[in-house]
Structure 1
Amino acid sequence: MPLRPHRPLPLATPAGVEVLTRILTQGPIPRVEIARRTGLSQAAVTKAVAPLIEAGFVTDQAPVPSEDNQLGIGRPVSPLTVVRESVSLIGLKVTPTSLIGVTTDFTAGILTVRHQRLDDTAPERVIDQLADLSKELITSLKLGEAVAGPLVGIGVAVSGDVDAAHGVVRDSPFMGWRDVPVAELMGQRLRLPVVVTNDVRALTVAEHWFGVGVDADSFAVVTIGSGIGCGLYINGEVVSGAYGVSGELGHLPLAPGDLVCTCGRRGCVETVASSDAILARTRETTGRADLDLAGAIKLAHEGDEHAREAFDRAGEVIGAALAAMVNLVGPELVVIAGEGVAEYDLYEERLRRTFAEHAFGAAGDCRLMLRSHTFDDWARGAAATVIRSYVRGEPPLNR
């Protein structure tokens, strides 16, 4: 039986879910505007929002003038907004070397942050450490480090193939995990609902509900770092794929076939374009086995031809992969994010040139936007997935 949030939402109808989603992602927003955007009557909006106001999840802001009458005389309206501190969430990001945890409010605003070093990636050890980190974050809420309401649940973001419906990490090459039931193991330790998702998809949910995707009809988030990931928002939803796998841009076979990827396959984009691949290539061509990534970036900025070649090669493959994705899916915007954007200037020109060469027709009009993200933002994305499940009543937070 699924665990329940400490504070259930009074949402009994799809209309109620739609209204709260609009207030959460687009508020402050007047009732009349919610009606216009959803197609509901103003009476239906009022009926849906009444229990949310009574329970303290939504409130009216101070009246502001409105000019939507024919005489042009402003009449006051009271925009609706969510009560940020009505609930709190925990988001956790897992990497092979560290755990990042945040608490957030109802709008995914970060309240507290904790980082822990990870020395062992064995699943049971990581789950124990995640549980301990969660308890530390829960204590921070209880001690009043930030004004926050009852804890709804915990989100965990992990790279790789994640079965979000069952909370299982099916395959994470970076972590060396296969078929790890993270939600079940975390739930046993904490007795709280746990939502487990692919890390890039979590970042995409955060952008969809609380970032650049709020007003976009379609967009993609491409992350560049130790891996190359892609999250897609198309036709009103973040794409999960029939089997929980979608947007695996880093595993398109666009690189030389003699290069072996961490996933065990050959010719993946990541074999050329990940930060690990760029560093390996720079070490190989310069003969500098002692180089770290910062050193490779420094060499490239100084004009070293071997280091520049590694970044140029990465930019070309990423540009081709972006063009393939845009040609297939047709998003209006691609957000380029992740820890690898620190060296974006080293391959931006080659990336954009290759993208322009391969984008078909009007697909070339797709905007490429750089957006810096920290690991705290990845953890925030995990919290955002809990918010979405909480509002929609999805497992494991079904009402």
Structure 2
Amino acid sequence: MSVQIGSKAEEALRVLHGASPAAVDIFTSILTHGPLSRTDVARATGLSQAAVTKSVAPMIAAGLVIDHDEAPRGGPRGRPANPIKVDPDALVVLGIKVNPTEIIGVATDLTSHLLVSAHQPTVPAFDAVVDGIAEIAERLSALLGDRADRLAGVGVSVSGDVDTRAGVVRESALLGWSNADLGSALKQRLGVPVLIENDVRALTIAEHWFGVGVGTNSFAIVTIGSGIGCGLHVNGEVVEGAFGVAGEVGHLPLTSERFICTCGRRGCVEAVASTGAIVRAVADASDAPVLSIADAVQRAHEGDAAAVEVFDRAGTVIGTAIATVANLTGPELVVITGEAVSEYDLYDARLRTAFEAHAFGAAANCRILLRPHAFEDWARGAAAAALRSIVRRRYLAA
């Protein structure tokens, strides 16, 4: 079995690829805020209602958009409002998250609703990951059944410094990669457009279009786990950076230089606040074996003074990093997520104290919200990032 563009997706993709920038804005507005009347779409995009009607017509014909002909019940008499929305079944996108020991894949519809998922173990060697991605993409395609006819593309997310334009993972400490041309390798293996994206930025894109970012002008996502990441959504757009690097709070030098980070630098936030750093610090201070973050959490919950100090230090540096983000970008909301939020209670107080101590002026009004994510959510982020690139016709290798 091979992965390929679905025959039922081709007409929808042709319409999207031929759309004008104004039509792309119209479709994006309907996708992320629909159902909307044409009047609402015109108001949201700053275009005339006639321009909206003209742009929407080919989308309706291609099955991307559904037009409701009925007028709202109890509404004023006259011309029906004709609300329009996307057809979720029009396109399917695959999202794949690469971890050092596991690959997680999902398929979503056009509205980012999860359809099927699959997991498989891996090792971080580049060739093994390429093989694993190809295999899990084929498994997802098989699980989709007839829906595979609507497949439009694949998004792959990895940790580290990712050049999305070139499809190159410039540096990933967790995977041990440097200048890995993942996009070209997958281009040779898969017959569909592929996007390579940083995992935290992909998660932020998903929240921008389908989560907390809907109706929010500016927000940030801080991920806590094997790495400390940050995705930024500022003034209505996800920040990508001129060179593809933005929001790397895990590598802000906010702690003592005696702490060495996995990136090789000293004093990084990750050097004291990542799960690996916490486990090592608790193990160094303990006579009993500390082999996992669960062991470290247990010792802290039992009142072990050294373990409590390690989590206090982590909470303080993360809170300082969040205050730095708030001071620089002024988000309405910071969402804390990641695989390490299960021990959030151990550093919540220190985190908030450090944030309040360093947030300047009105930046302190930023709300801090805890929101656990499963690894399927990370893969869903990769799918959302690919969908955004399909709509905007950017950065896809095919």
TM tier relative to shorter chain: over 0.9
Q: Gaps (5+ residues) in structure 1?
A: none
Taking a change above 3 Å as real, the CA distance of residues 62 and 314 of structure 1, as seen in their structure-2 partners, is: farther
1:288 and 1:359, CA in 2 relative to 1: closer, same or farther beyond 3 A? same
Aligned counterpart in structure 1 of residue 34 of structure 2, from 15, 20, 27? 27
Structure 2 residue 103 is the aligned partner of structure 1 residue 99: yes
Query: Corresponding residue for 2:202?
Result: 202
User: Is 1:238 the counterpart of 2:238 in the alignment?
Assistant: yes
Per the alignment, residue 116 of structure 1 pairs with 120
Unaligned runs of 5+ in 2: none
Contact kept in structure 2, 1:87 and 1:148, CA below 8 Å? no
Structure 2 match to 1:50: 57
Deviations 1:15-66 (A, max 9, x none): 1101100111011111111111111111111111110001101102363538
CA shift, 1:81, in A, is 1.1
Cα contact 1:66–1:74 (8 A) shared by 2: no
CA contact (8 A) 2:282 2:290 kept: no
Matched residue, 1:324: 324
1:13 aligns with 2:17: no
- Residue identity in the other structure for 1:298: Q
Cα deviation per residue 1:57-105 (whole Å; 9 max; x = unaligned)? 110236353888xxx6697423211111111111000011100000111
Residues matched between the structures, number: 389
1:185, distance to aligned residue in structure 2 (A): 0.5
**Stretch moving more, 284-293 or 219-228:** 284-293
Say whether the 8 Å CA contact 2:164–2:395 is kept in structure 1: no
Match of 2:138 among 104, 128, 135: 135
Do the aligned residues in 2 keep the contact of 1:200 with 1:230 (CA within 8 Å)? Answer: yes
Q: Tell me what 1:253 maps to.
A: 253
Q: What secondary structure, in the 3-state scheme, does the structure 1 residue paired with 2:72 have? A: strand
After TM superposition, the structure 1 stretch with the greater mean CA deviation from structure 2, 215-224 or 292-301, is 292-301
Q: Verify the 8 A CA contact 1:67 1:74 in the aligned structure 2.
A: no
Alignment partners' CA distance in 1, 2:39 and 2:73: 11
Q: Percent identity at matched positions?
A: 53
Per mean C-alpha deviation after superposition, the further-off stretch among 206-215 and 234-243 is 234-243
How far apart, in 2, do the equivalents of 1:336 and 1:302 lie?
Answer: 25
Aligned to 1:125: 128
Runs (4+) of structure 1 exceeding 6 A deviation are 72-75
Q: Matched residues in 1 for 2:45 and 2:115: separation?
A: 31
- Answer whether contact 2:30 2:36 (CA < 8 A) is retained: yes
Could you tell me how far apart the structure 2 residues matched to 1:377 and 1:140 are?
Answer: 18
Provide the C-alpha distance between the structure 2 equivalents of 1:132 and 1:148, rounded to a whole number of angstroms.
15
Kept in 2, the 8 Å contact 1:220–1:331? The answer is yes
- Contact 1:4–1:396 under 8 Å retained in 2: no
What corresponds to 1:41 in structure 2?
48
- Summarize the alignment of residues 1-399 of structure 1 with structure 2, pairs less than 5 Å apart: 7=10, 8-11=13-16, 12-61=19-68, 63=70, 65=72, 76-118=80-122, 120-141=123-144, 143-144=145-146, 147=147, 149-396=149-396
Q: Give the deviation of 1:287 after TM superposition.
A: 2.3
CA contact (8 A) 2:5 2:151 kept: no
Give the superposition deviation at 1:397. 7.0
In structure 2, C-alpha distance between the alignment counterparts of 1:347 and 1:356, rounded to whole Å: 14
8 Å CA contact retained: 1:221, 1:337: yes
Write the deviation string for residues 207-247 of structure 1: whole angstroms up to 9, x where unpaired. 00100001111111110000000011113221111111110
- The 10-residue stretch of structure 1 (10-19 or 365-374) with the greater mean CA deviation from structure 2: 10-19
Give the secondary structure class of the aligned counterpart of 1:204.
Answer: helix
Partner of 2:25: helix, strand, or coil? helix
Residue 303 (structure 1) shift: 2.5
Give the aligned residue type for 1:231. Answer: G
Letter paired with 2:33: Q
Q: Deviations over 1:240-287 (max 9, x none)?
A: 111111100000001110111000000100011111111111112222
CA offset at residue 306 of structure 1? 2.0
1:114–1:4 CA distance, 2 compared to 1 (3 A): closer
Q: Is the 8 A contact 1:203 1:378 kept in 2?
A: yes
Cα contact 1:66–1:77 (8 A) shared by 2: no
| Pairwise CA distance, 1:389 | 0.8
RMSD (CA atoms): 1.9
What SS does structure 2 have at the residue aligned with 1:220? strand
